[in-house]
Structure 1
C-alpha cells in the first residue's frame, strides 16, 4: 500500500467534496434563501453520494455542469469508497481522481458558479 498516494487521494477527495458542497451552499442559498438547509437536515443528506445527487435533484444546480461532468461525479463514488476504506487505487483511478479534482475545484472558482 502506497501511504503517500492514499494521503494525496484523500486530500483530493476532500477538496472535491468541499468544492461541490460550497457550490451547493451558494446556489441553494441564492435560489431558496437560508432556510433551505432545514430540508437537508430533514433528509439526512451528508454523504458524498448525497452531494452528487443534489446536482440532479435541484434545477438551480443541474445546469451547472455538463451531462458528462455529472456522469464523472457518479464515477467518483466508487473511487471515493476505495480511498475511504483504505484500499489501493489503480494508476488509472488515481489519475482520474486528480483529473476530476481539477474539473470540480476549478468550477468552484469559476465566476459562473
Structure 2
C-alpha cells in the first residue's frame, strides 16, 4: 500500500460514512416526526437502527411504505451497487476510480435528497 492509497481510502471511507449516516438520519427523523421521541416503541426492526448493516438500511428504503418512493429506481440501483464497494472499503481493499466515482455520485444523491427534504419542510412552515 502506498501513501496515496491511505489518503484515497480514508477519503472513500469518509464519503461512505456520510452516506450511511445520512440514510440512517433520514429514517430516524422521519419516524421521530411521526411518532415522537419514543418512536422506536412504535416501529419494529430486526435490529436497532444504530447497528443496522448497510444492506438492512437499503432494504428499509426499498420495502417500508414511508421510504419506498424516497429514491427513484435509478437512484436505488446506484445505492445497491455500493454494497460490494462498501464491503471493500470496510475490509481495507483499495477500490477503483470507477468505484470511487460511484461513491461520490451516491453521496451527492443522498445529500441532494436531504436538502430537498429540508426545503420542502421549510416551505410547509412558511
**TM-score when normalising by structure 1:** 0.87
2 CA distance for matches of 1:62 and 1:81?
24
Tell me how far apart the structure 1 counterparts of residues 53 and 38 of structure 2 sit (CA, whole Å): 20
Q: Are 2:12 and 1:6 aligned?
A: no
Alignment of 1:84-99 (within 5 A): 84-99=90-105
Measured in 2, the distance between the counterparts of 1:62 and 1:29 equals 18
Q: Which one has the largest radius of gyration?
A: 2
Q: What is the aligned residue count? A: 111
**Larger RCO (CA under 8 A, 6+ residues apart):** 1
Match of 2:30 in 1: 27
Match of 1:55 in 2: 61
Moved more, 29-38 or 63-72: 29-38
Quote the residue 2:88 is aligned against: 82
Q: Distance in 1 between matches of 2:67 and 2:34?
A: 10
Distance, in Å, in 2 between the alignment partners of 1:58 and 1:103 is: 20
Superposition RMSD on alpha carbons, in Å?
A: 1.8
For normalisation by structure 2, the TM-score amounts to: 0.79
Name the CA distance, whole Å, in 1 between partners of 2:74 and 2:18. Answer: 20
Query: In structure 2, what is the Cα distance between the partners aligned to 1:25 and 1:56?
Result: 16
